[in-house]
Amino acid sequence: MEKPRNPFILGHRISRPYFCDRKFEQEKLTSAVLNGRNVVLISPRRMGKTSLIHISFHESEEIRQEYLTIFIDILQTNSLSEFTYLLGKEIFDALAEKSVTRVQGFLAALKSLKGTFGFDPISGTPTFNIQLGDIKNPEYTLKEIFKYIEESEKQVIITIDEFQQITKYPEKNIEAILRSHIQHLSNATFIFAGSEQSILQEMFVSSNRPFYQSSEIMHLGPIDEDIYLEFTQKMFLERERTIEEDSVRRMYRLFDGITFYLQRTMNGAFAETPEGGRCVKETVLRSIRGMLAANEVIYREILSNVSVSQKSTLYAIAKERIVKNPMGSAFVKKYSLPSSSSVQSAILKLVKSGMITKTEEGYTITDPLLRIFINGLYSIPEI
């Protein structure tokens, strides 16, 4: 592989030399799927779940050679029809990379969609030109897809990212529908990844839910601060640059160790540091300000659609960073909020929208960059 210009890679799959740690998590995840154990992978958004899954699959020769791997992100889906469509398309695309024969076998299995596939006029191979509206009976089509998976000549690993999204589908029995298919598959292992911890734990730990105790739960937290510091310094040194230790540590804490923001900040800071140069605090701050500027329009739009009571609660939580009891009188009084009941109502709506997250420590703004934006445009806390 050609050495990348900037070692803090964003936006696509990362190879091991530019992937920071996660070796323990990688071994644990790989061992689980190779031994047929389904996994629930839980972490805050942008912590690196997707990258961990991809590098785990890529670095396992057994998975590369003997398994068909499918990855779908269902965050933007809103129904079983969309779920079925996305799963079918991803399987088609994965098979298309292997052989035309396998593609034809998959299409032949989807009898409910017979006649809706097209063909490339040049190669004569099948094309997945199905529209969402073509899926008239998603439960039946889903049954056909799972039947094909069970009969596949290769073992299959299916990752469903943001799996908690299925709880928001209009179909009331969606968990039971999926569980009824999955529990009878002997040829497939599943990774259910997601960022809403409370919902996922309820789905897999509560005895009255279909997925109760069906999977091994694995939490993905921040990369250790010292390990990320060592990784960052190594990336700079390998390209004849240096960086201040204190700036890396303060940036790490500012973003709560969330991998995406660490990498994005370092990407910008590295780009500004010339060969033979030293990256200092001011360089890191400029990179963060660049992220704020790039997201300003989006954040203003988000905040414009939040009610006054929700916004007051959101801003107060942003100031505190994390709040154990936002309905408590001390918090309500400190920030002149209307009442505990109004805060409770606002909290429920903000959690539902994904703007705040409830953790073991308390309630916090889900997106740390949004928290910085709320606390003062371009006014970044001392790092």
CATH numbers and ranges of domains, the chain: 22-219 (3.40.50.300), 307-383 (1.10.10.10)
The position carrying tokens 């409770």 is 344
Which pLDDT does position 99 carry in this prediction?
76
3-state secondary structure 195-227: CCHHHHHHHHHCCCCCCCCCCEEEECCCCCHHH
Which pLDDT does position 378 carry in this prediction?
43
The position carrying tokens 């909020």 is 337
Spatial contact of 284 and 269, defined as CB atoms under 8 Å apart = yes
Spatial contact of 73 and 162, defined as CB atoms under 8 Å apart = yes
The position carrying tokens 């006649």 is 115
Spatial contact of 64 and 57, defined as CB atoms under 8 Å apart = yes
Tell me the C-alpha distance between 216 and 219, whole Å. 10
Sign of torsion, CA 340 346 347 348?
A: positive
Q: Residue 85's closest CA among 131, 124, 50?
A: 131
Residue 88 in tokens: 């079918």
Which pLDDT does position 115 carry in this prediction?
57
Tell me the C-alpha distance between 325 and 338, whole Å. 16
Per residue in 25-40, pLDDT (tens digit) is: 999 999 999 999 999 9
What's the predicted TM-score (pTM) here? Answer: 0.91
Low-confidence stretches of the chain (pLDDT beneath 50): 377-378
Which pLDDT does position 166 carry in this prediction?
97
Q: Tell me the residue length of the chain.
A: 383
